Amino acid sequence: MKQIEDKLPDKPSELLEMALGDLRECAEDPAYRLDSSRWFSYRGQYDSNGQAAGEVCLVCLGGAVMAKRLPCELGDDDSPTFLYEMGTIGERDKNKLHALDDFRTGDFADAFKEMGTPISNEQTEALGELYKNLFLVCSRGDSVSMAGFCTDEAGLAFADKYQAVVDEIKSLGY
């Protein structure tokens, strides 16, 4: 397999700042709509009367990076794994995109592991506490519903709040 050059930053805080900026750009671009349940998914849209209103690409935090930084094209349905398997991105960038999803949901231990960045349990626990204080976390049985968004407004609110997490990660030297 050919060696593919990494395009995404190795430092978690730099990756997150880039991703939040890309998320904000996608919110301003009529070709995209923010939706944390989709990586990069082209869908038809309908107005409140059920009439076809054009097509947009739904993107999550990692999907916004895919839209703005990687070779994804409107009309495609892509994921980091698909791009990697097609030889479009390297394994490290695939892992960084998965790390962004872990960061978004507050799974800091897995996010840092995906990035290949060692971090102490105490630091991930402190980041988890900050995350819980910033975002409403609703328990459902044994599972926990983490910060998600399905509108541009909610995605922008997420980005604004999440900046505090990025600032803390930066203060830790990551």
pLDDT in tens, 119-139: 999 999 999 999 888 875 544
User: Tokens representing 38?
Assistant: 């989709």
Residues 6+ away with beta carbon under 8 Å from 95: 114, 115, 116
- Report the pLDDT value the prediction gives residue 97, as an integer from 0 to 100: 96
Q: What is the pLDDT of residues 80-105, one digit of tens each?
A: 888 888 888 899 999 999 999 999 98
- Give pTM, 2 decimals: 0.84
Least confident of 53-57, 68-72, 157-161: 53-57
Shortest CA distance to 28 belongs to which of 155, 115, 136?
155
d(CA 89, CA 81): 9
100 touches 16 (CB < 8 A): yes
- Report the pLDDT value the prediction gives residue 158, as an integer from 0 to 100: 86
Per-residue pLDDT band at 27 (split at 50, 70, 90): very high
User: Tokens representing 135?
Assistant: 């975002």
Least confident of 25-39, 139-153, 155-169: 139-153
b (16+ CB within 10 A) / e for 11-25 = ebbebbbbbbebbbe
- Report the pLDDT value the prediction gives residue 77, as an integer from 0 to 100: 64
